[in-house]
A and B are shown apart, each in its own frame.
Chain A
Amino acid sequence: MTLPTDVSAAPMLRLDQLSRRRAGRPAVQSLSLSLPRGQVLGLLGVNGAGKSTTLSMVAGALRPDSGSIRLNGADFLEQPELARQLIGWLPERAPLWPELTVSEHLDAHGHLRGLRGAALKQARTAIIERLELQPLARRLAGVLSQGQRQRLGLACALLHRPALLVLDEPANALDPVQVAALRTLIREQAAAGTAVILSTHLLAEVTAVCDRVAILHDGTLRHDGHVHSDDHAALERTFFEIAMNGQPQPARAA
């Protein structure tokens, strides 16, 4: 895919001093981080840490009060239309139009993302097959179970092959088999060069699929580091230290 702004050296996503107030209090404060192509970043934090607000701003659904978001080197706040091609977003509870079928949802998202005709048909068929939505294709979204809704939301986010995938609690309501399939899917996307940012409450989710983890607390970034699948205990300790004390404790001497 040709990206709208071809600054190949630029990270896919760069947040710089991003801040946003919600309900009269700072939800995200001076958040800076970057995400290269092909990397999966896990966003961890307790409820109210600012994860969903951050992802809403990255997805283009919410404007930050201050700071900048650069997508593939371009100023996203100046060019919000970049979201159309570059970003696929699955919000926390996949929002759907209850009166439309699964297939109609994919068509609507395709049209909104600029897909038409044969390209839309091809993309729809591929994503329906990949997420095994064939039996649900003609079913109304209003009668889907929570897990099925989540899968449809994921299909809508992936339909146009975004360069940046933003997933907010994607494993919500999925059964263990579907969670495993989701992990495989996320790794596939990363292997294909897609930058993935996902928020989750599940530490196991982070160690299973993420290359990097960022921990938010009270709207600020408290930890940003690489994840190794065998250091679940270390991640758990860091997370709880931040959740309890607001910051990771210095490493103890052996």
Chain B
Amino acid sequence: MSPFAVTRLEWRRLLVRPLAWVLAALTLAWLAWNFTLMLGSFLSSQIQRAAQPDGPGFIDLVGVPLLGQLAQLAFLVVPLITMSVIAGERRNGTLPLLFAAGVPASRIVLGKYLAVLGWLLLWLALTLAMPLALMHTTHFDWGKLAAATLGLALMLATLGAIGVACSAFASHPAIAASAALVIALALWSVNLGAQMAGMNGGAINWLAMSSHLQPLLRGLVSTTDIVWFALLIVLALALATRRLAADKERN
């Protein structure tokens, strides 16, 4: 079997579903509108900033905030994209077909995850195309843009893995989407209380996704942050695989 047979199948299903197209169109239109507003604001303040050579540039004022908006949208979009990947198969009764084709649970999960990841990275690439379209007209801080892009890619990959895991556990896609949204929001804001109490370190802050994404959006790449995202992805996919394997046992 081709290692990407499940990916190909899932990718095809994603592309023919109106939901993926509608979400992509709406979010990209929203991001383009905001990009235009931020660009206008950047251009109108260009003269004042000319007096501060070390002041914030195009990437700080337009590129990273645009990616920040994409991150906010991702909390809603990713659960909607991932909700049907396994829960939908379960509802259609097509999951046993994959088992009966001799595809192991791990490969089903990985195949579906790669398809979702492909969609999410395409979404990120289309968003990035907006600031990149101006690369020849203004100064670009490539390092900061690369770090922020890496952060967003890791965040999308993590939310995608959580979404796939929720879809593996839920019997209905809507339950999967709700669970993925709640888990993602909880992961983002788990340290809010601690921060309000003035605690800026410690385990509770380490647990929060925001603690690992914000440094990357500021251009600081650290191995700890990358490992945090990687751990979460592996954990979510392992749980999804376990659940699918149990499904085959229980049917």
Contacts from A to B (Cβ < 8 Å) = 22, 56, 59-63, 80-84, 87, 89, 91, 93, 95-100, 104, 108-109, 111-114, 116, 156
Q: DSSP majority for the B interface?
A: helix
- Contacts between chains A and B (CB distance < 8 A), count: 82
Contact A111 B8 (CB under 8 A): yes
Which residue of chain A lies nearest to B96 when distances are taken between CB atoms in the complex?
A: A61
Q: Indicate if the CB atoms of A113 and B101 lie closer than 8 Å.
A: yes
Question: Please, which residues of chain B bring their CB within 8 A of the CB of A62?
Answer: 96, 99, 248, 251
Partner of A112, one of B5, B13, B16, B93: B5
9 further interface pairs, Cβ-Cβ under 8 Å (given A91-B96, A96-B92, A156-B97): A59-B100, A61-B248, A62-B248, A80-B102, A95-B97, A97-B13, A99-B16, A112-B6, A114-B1
Contact present for B97 and A84 (CB under 8 Å) = no
CA distance A62 to B249 in the complex (A): 6
Interface magnitude class on chain B: 20 to 34
Question: Most chain-A CB neighbours within 10 Å: which of B2, B9, B100?
Answer: B100
Q: Contacts A22-B251, A100-B16 hold; do A61 and B100 have CB atoms under 8 A apart?
A: yes
Min CB–CB distance A141 → chain B (angstroms): 10
In the assembled complex, which residues on chain B have CB atoms less than 8 Å from the CB atom of A112? 1, 5-6, 9, 97-98, 101, 103
What DSSP secondary structure best describes chain A's contact surface? loop
Cα A170 to Cα B97 in complex, Å, equals: 16
Find chain B residues with CB under 8 A from A113 CB: 1, 101
Q: Are A60 and B1 in contact (CB under 8 A)?
A: no
Q: Which residue of B lies closest to A113 (CB)?
A: B101
**B181, chain A: closest CB distance, angstroms:** 23
Cβ distance B92 to chain A, nearest Cβ, rounded Å: 6
Cα A84 to Cα B5 in complex, Å, equals: 12
Assess the B100–A60 pair: CB atoms within 8 A: yes
Asked if residues B251 and A116 are in contact (CB atoms below 8 Å), the reply is: no
**B230 CB to nearest chain A CB (Å):** 29
A204 to B4, CA, bound (A): 43
Give the distance to chain A from B191, nearest Cβ to Cβ, in Å.
40
